[in-house]
Amino acid sequence: MITRSHFDRITQASEAQAGVVLLGPRQVGKTTLAQDIAASRDAVYLDLERSADRQILEEPDLYLDEQVGRLVVIDEVQLAPGLFGALRGLAGPD
């Protein structure tokens, strides 16, 4: 595994906050970093470029309620803009 400079910072942020977003230009390693973080703990990884993963989130509140206590990584979340409302509701107020 290539050591990534942001791995520890993002891991700490994910433990302290309800949500963490990885933003950046194409091909800089966001997906690889997210997969590495997911592999390091109890997590589920969903890639919304896969139709099976999109189907899992057709009822986001039900699915995400079942994942309480686990890290949920949603890659390519911009492909499901309707999901943001459910995520906001789960993250709650600051």
Q: Give me the pLDDT at residue 80, please.
A: 93
Length of the chain: 94
Q: Give me the pLDDT at residue 93, please.
A: 60
Q: Give me the pLDDT at residue 39, please.
A: 94
Tokens of 87: 């995520």
Strand partners, 45: 73
Residues 6+ apart with CB under 8 A from 54: 48, 79, 80
- Cβ atoms of 81 and 13 closer than 8 Å: no
Q: What CA–CA distance (Å, rounded) separates 69 from 13?
A: 15
Among 89, 85, 57, residue whose Cα is nearest residue 73:
57
pLDDT tens-digit readout, 16-44: 888 888 888 999 889 999 999 999 999 99
